[in-house]
Each structure stands twice: as structure tokens, then as C-alpha cells.
């Protein structure tokens, strides 16, 4: 029988991939700033309703850290939405996995955590995989969209590290952290749609509402997954999101992943899995 946490992780990966379909569909007729703004406003409305319904309070502490997490997370989302608009969904999903590598190094610098031993080969594999995806030697493949996806992964890693610090300090709930993320994202969306705004039609409003609701559902499922199963296993199961994104890209947008992208994905995922397990083992050994 499948572990409940792993089923929730698959649900989270599926939900995020569905959100990406809607983002890409909207990007043909709306600016990314509008999409980010609409997604954030709808998310804020739903989140505030949930907080009021369950009497969840704001902590009013660590405001600078909460704003920083919101700002880097919001910018990460803005950049990944731009990447989605100009790249194959499967390629974007693979490049997003680079955030795990950035977390590894940021943890060492910011949290003073040790880097697992024997990391040279997996890091070399991840670097080679990234180059296969970016393909700078091919002018028609190397693009600003791919660079923005990598930078988005770095900003996402910054957000994850900040969340870790906030929970480590205590006094915060996940809904409060998500609120600051959505609020900062809304401001970034406003800045991004300056001079490029149009009133959305019924279809666009429906898709915006879908993005806001599905993204919150995905975050809730992912949070519950990590709370119900081994974190390493959940991280591995979330890689199914790459399959979902590649499948939707093919079915809805006629996207076919390049052979080198597939190879690059294998290198990145394989290297990331090794480093995740190595870091977990190091953490267990340190806590004994």
C-alpha cells in the first residue's frame, strides 16, 4: 500500500504542472506581470478567508525576513513564468530542480551546514546536465528564457533557506509565510505590468482563478506530504512533476523534448538525488 505522504507528493507535482499549463496558455494573450498579479490577488483572497475561518493569526515578528522571503519568492515566480512562456514545459521543470543544488551551497554559507563528502562527481554531472539543457553552442536553443529559469531556481533556493530560518526561530505558521509571498508577488506583478495591461476576458479570468486556486492546493499538498512521509522520499516523488510537464507540453502545445534535454535531465536528477541522500545521511550522523 502506498504511503499517504507519497500520494500527496504526486498530487502536488500534478497540481503544479496543471498550473504551468494555465500559465503558458495565458502567456499567449496576457503579459507575465498581469498573470503574476492576478494569481497573487486570488491567492491572497482565498488565503485570508482560510486564515479567518480557522482563526489563524499573524505573528508580527521577523517582518524583514518575511518580506525578504516574499520578495525573492515572488521574483522567482515572475522569472519562471517568463521561462514557461518561452520554453518547453519539460525543460523548465528540469531547470527548476537546480534549486536543490543552490540550497546545498547556500546552506553551507548561510546556515554553516557541512557539504556532504564526495560531491565532485554528482556536481559535475549536474553541471553537464545543465549545459545539455542550455546548449550555449546552439544559437537557436540557448536563450534568455533558460538563463531566467536558472536564476529563478537560485532565488527559490534563497526563499527555501529563509523559510528554514523562520521556522527555526519559531512563532510562524506556513499560512503567514505564504501570505507575505503572495503580497510581495502582487507588488512585483504590478511593476511588471506597467504600460502593458488589458482587461481580461471571461476565459482569461477563469484561467487566472484556476492558477490561484490550483497553486494554493499544490502548496498545501506539498506541505502535508513533507509532514506525512520521509522528506527525502517526498523530494524524489516530486520529480514526477517533470514527467507531467513534459506530457502536458506534448499533448497541449506539441512540444517534444530534445534528446540532449532528456540526457541533461537524467544527469541533473541523478546528481540531485545523490546529493539529497548524502546530505540526509550527514544530518543523521551529526545528530547521533
pLDDT (0 to 100) of residue 63: 93
Separation between Cα atoms, residue 32 and residue 28, nearest integer Å: 10
pLDDT (0 to 100) of residue 92: 94
pTM: 0.90
Q: How many domains does the chain have?
A: 1
Range of the structural domain that residue 163 is part of: 4-287
pLDDT (0 to 100) of residue 155: 96
| pLDDT less than 50: residues of the chain | 1
The CA-atom distances, in angstroms, between 284 and each of 268, 279, 280, 287, 288 are 24, 9, 6, 5, 6
Separation between Cα atoms, residue 180 and residue 183, nearest integer Å: 5
pLDDT (0 to 100) of residue 1: 43
Take residue 104 and report the three cell numbers written for it.
546545498
Take residue 12 and report the three cell numbers written for it.
502536488
Q: Considering all CA atoms of the chain, what is the largest pairwise distance in Å, rounded to the nearest integer?
A: 59
The SS3 assignment for 113 reads coil
Burial class (CB in 10 A: 0-12, 13-18, 19+), 223: middle
pLDDT (0 to 100) of residue 140: 61
Separation between Cα atoms, residue 70 and residue 230, nearest integer Å: 27
CB 79 within 8 A of CB 151: yes
Rounded-to-10 torsion of CA 9, 76, 102, 98: 60
pLDDT (0 to 100) of residue 184: 97
Phi, psi of 255 (to 5 degrees): -85, 130
Closest CA to 238 of 133, 33, 50, 96: 96
Amino acid at each position: 500500500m502506498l504511503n499517504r505522504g507519497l500520494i500527496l507528493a504526486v498530487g502536488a507535482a500534478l497540481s503544479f504542472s496543471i498550473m504551468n499549463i494555465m500559465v503558458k496558455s495565458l502567456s499567449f494573450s496576457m503579459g507575465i506581470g498581469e498573470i503574476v498579479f492576478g494569481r497573487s490577488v486570488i491567492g491572497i483572497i482565498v488565503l485570508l478567508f482560510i486564515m479567518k475561518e480557522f482563526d489563524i493569526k499573524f505573528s508580527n515578528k521577523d517582518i524583514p525576513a518575511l518580506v525578504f522571503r516574499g520578495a525573492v519568492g515572488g521574483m522567482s515566480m515572475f522569472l519562471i513564468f517568463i521561462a514557461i512562456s518561452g520554453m518547453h514545459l519539460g525543460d523548465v521543470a528540469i531547470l527548476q530542480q537546480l534549486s536543490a543544488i543552490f540550497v546545498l551551497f547556500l546552506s553551507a554559507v548561510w546556515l554553516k551546514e557541512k557539504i556532504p563528502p564526495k560531491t565532485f562527481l554528482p556536481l559535475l554531472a549536474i553541471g553537464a546536465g545543465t549545459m545539455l539543457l542550455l546548449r550555449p553552442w546552439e544559437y537557436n536553443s540557448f536563450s534568455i528564457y533558460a538563463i531566467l529559469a536558472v536564476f529563478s531556481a537560485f532565488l527559490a533556493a534563497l526563499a527555501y533557506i529563509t523559510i528554514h530560518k523562520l521556522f527555526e526561530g519559531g512563532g510562524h505558521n506556513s499560512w503567514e509565510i505564504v501570505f507575505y509571498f503572495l503580497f510581495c508577488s502582487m507588488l512585483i506583478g504590478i511593476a511588471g505590468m506597467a504600460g502593458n495591461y488589458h482587461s481580461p476576458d471571461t476565459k482569461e479570468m477563469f484561467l487566472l482563478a484556476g492558477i490561484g486556486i490550483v497553486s494554493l492546493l499544490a502548496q498545501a499538498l506539498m506541505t502535508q506530504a513533507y509532514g506525512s512521509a520521509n522528506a527525502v522520499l517526498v523530494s524524489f516523488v516530486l520529480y514526477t512533476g517533470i514527467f507531467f510537464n513534459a506530457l502536458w507540453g506534448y499533448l497541449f502545445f506539441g512540444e517534444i523534448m530534445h534528446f540532449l534535454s532528456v540526457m541533461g535531465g537524467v544527469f541533473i536528477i541523478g546528481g540531485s538525488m545523490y546529493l539529497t541522500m548524502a546530505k540526509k545521511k550527514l544530518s543523521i550522523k551529526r545528530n547521533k
